[in-house]
Amino acid sequence: MKVWLQLFFSLLVYLWNASTTFALEVVLLQDQPAADSLVEWELRGADAAWLTSDVSRTPTLQVTSPNNRSWERRAFLYQPCQASKADAAAIPMGDPVLRFRHTPRVDGAHKWTIKAPDGSELSAGVIKVTKKTGAYPLGMLKVSTENPRLLSFMDGSVFIPIGPNLCWANAPDQLGKFSSWFEILGKEKCTHVRLWCASWCGQIEGEQPDSYRQDQAWLFDQILALARQHGLKVTVAIDNHHDMGLGKFFPYGKTYEERLKSFLSVPIGAQYQRRLQYMLARWGADDTIAAWELMNELDLAQPQREAALRWAAAAAKTITGFDIDNRLITVSWSGDDWDLVAKIDHIDVAQVHSYVLEWTDKIGLRRKVTRDGIDMLLNSADRGNSLGKPFCFSEVGYQGTNEDNPGNVADKQGLLLRQQAWAGFLLGGYGSGMNWWWDVYMEPRKLWKNYGSMARIVAKLDWRDPELLPLTPNSGASIRVIGWQSPTQALLWPQVRADTWHAHIVEGHGRSQLTVEQSVRLRDMKPKTRFQVHYFDMLSGDERSHREVTSDGNGMFNFAVIPPNVDVVVWIEQAQ
């Protein structure tokens, strides 16, 4: 048995092909993998014809799990690299090889077979998979069947994405920056970030079609590995309007008009399809990935709405057909008519981008309506809640640039960041509102804890409760109440309506607060039942106080809003 194991894990299998006479070495890169780990096989000494970025011409790996489910993975071209703290993100080293990746999702013995492109068997074996080790339940994310406003794992456990955008890191030391940010978010118990495949950080396209930059692919490998290490799921934006507009590492035409016609075409072009297939071969099995975002702000890349919608529909259908892991598909939109693209078949989850326009709306038509960072999200939340699919506020904050953003400069404590992180979720989104300014704002001012406290408080509820629904926000009263409620529990924010970022930061008023206790009536709770009311500090995540109330025969009770009521959320649970 010892000899067999040694031979098995080394997998030094030498095969001779009569026509090309080459030696093929198959190496399993993980020893005793767990049921939630990313397993890799490496093929060394492969036929030169297989060393191509076109995965339709590479060998296949078939894995059969103990429950007889079969998975077929394509080999992808891989080149070893090493990290650099200089301007280059990574330095290629060594010859290209082929790799396979697969995530086993049950423990036990998994049979595997590697076949050549012509279907002939090259190698076979068995891997023994141990029980899962990670913090999350097994498998990819999906839309919850118990509460279709939220996301869940295969076993039904609900996943609440909490965290900001961390779309890229600029050179030098890109991995060092990601490592630092991810470590902080992990310690804060955050669960999710959003990444871009950007020309300067993680986009594999080269100057020529199908000539993928292996250093950037390797860099993206390492970024995902760091996210996995710190318990973070990732939404990956495959493309962005910036790179398409400038043609930076976007080899679909020399001019914008040529790229528009070639890339955003229907039917979907073969070159783009090959890139999708390569990306899925390399990263499709990685359960770190929560969702594939087809393009960031598609309507800025293709301003003709009908043409943009046609491409989104065709691209979503295409990637869905390629993706055997069935990951969630999304696309983001810049305009207020974001729900047009959200309604498309094969778009599983919707995204909203909403920025404060105080300093960028020169005409002033929309400036006033963004002076209340919560109220400005209400209209989108209303449309989101009527979609019939989950939505989130995936970009929020002050509109501006890295070099010129008066809002970020003035808002030193992250008032808007905190309010929109909470409002994005409590208005019915499937996760926190995601601030955009991570590297020039959140990092220098150490504002990460705004997401960490939210993660700790949100974890107290039972999100598998199918009756948890977002409240319809009240209007007119001095205290605005938003949140989620079911007959047995609730997470509410009784927010002083006058406590806006604009009143405090621009007008210079102190934070609006209560001087006397007020009460809020809650309806539709379980009748004649005792409830514990817990008051939590949004900044620290600590409980400030608690009270007990009992509902009447109609399921109503009043709960106190306690002065000064600044940055306080309320968790209500049925008493034991």
DSSP-derived secondary structure for 438-504: IIIIIHHHT-THHHHHHHHHHTTS-TT-TT-EEPPPP-SSSEEEEEEE-SSEEEEEEEETT--HIII
What does pLDDT average to over the chain? 94
pLDDT of residue 86: 63
Chain position carrying tokens 């989950």: 390
**pLDDT tier at 92, thresholds 50, 70, 90:** confident
- Whether residue 283 is contained in a domain is answered as no
pLDDT of residue 22: 53
Q: How far apart are CA 167 and CA 192, in angstroms?
A: 12
Among 31, 19, 96, which residue's Cα sits nearest to residue 58?
Answer: 96
* pTM across the whole model: 0.94
pLDDT of residue 88: 59
Q: How far apart are CA 257 and CA 241, in angstroms?
A: 13
Residue 548 has which token pair?
A: 């007990």
Q: What percent of the chain has pLDDT over 90?
A: 90
Expressed as residue numbers, the domain containing 555 is: 479-574
Per-residue pLDDT tens over the stretch 134-150 = 889 889 999 999 999 99
pLDDT of residue 135: 85
**pLDDT tier at 94, thresholds 50, 70, 90:** confident
- Whether residue 552 is contained in a domain is answered as yes
- In this structure, which amino acid lies at residue 558? N
pLDDT of residue 13: 37
Residue 404 has phi, psi (to 5 degrees) of: -140, 95
Does residue 1 register a pLDDT over 50? no
CATH of the domain at 485: 2.60.40
Q: How far apart are CA 560 and CA 520, in angstroms?
A: 6
pLDDT of residue 239: 98
- Whether residue 60 is contained in a domain is answered as yes
End position of a domain, from candidates 104, 129, 154: 129
- Whether residue 220 is contained in a domain is answered as no
Q: How much is the average pLDDT of 495-513?
A: 97
Q: How far apart are CA 344 and CA 311, in angstroms?
A: 11
pLDDT of residue 23: 80
End position of a domain, from candidates 129, 153, 173: 129
- Whether residue 428 is contained in a domain is answered as no
- Whether residue 70 is contained in a domain is answered as yes
- Whether residue 302 is contained in a domain is answered as no
Does residue 414 register a pLDDT over 60? yes
Per-residue pLDDT tens over the stretch 450-498 = 999 999 999 999 999 999 999 999 988 999 999 999 999 999 999 999 9
End position of a domain, from candidates 111, 129, 147: 129
pLDDT of residue 19: 38
Residue 86 has which token pair?
A: 């200089």
| Cross-strand pairs, 496 | 479
Per-residue pLDDT tens over the stretch 180-219 = 999 999 999 999 999 999 999 999 999 999 999 999 999 9
Spell 262-282 as b/e; 16+ CB within 10 A means b. bbbeeebbeebbbbbbbbbbb
Q: How much is the average pLDDT of 276-291?
A: 98
Per-residue pLDDT tens over the stretch 48-70 = 999 999 999 999 999 999 999 99
pLDDT of residue 6: 41
Least confident window among 92-96, 320-324, 427-431, 542-546: 92-96
The count of structural domains within the chain is 2
Supply the DSSP string of 58-97, one letter for each residue. Answer: S-EEEEE-TT--EEEEE-EEE--EEE-SSSSSEEE-S--E
- Whether residue 18 is contained in a domain is answered as yes
Q: How far apart are CA 482 and CA 493, in angstroms?
A: 5
CATH of the domain at 117: 2.60.40.10
Least confident window among 128-142, 216-230, 293-307, 435-449: 128-142
Does residue 513 register a pLDDT over 70? yes
**Of residues 18 and 490, which shows the higher confidence score?**
490
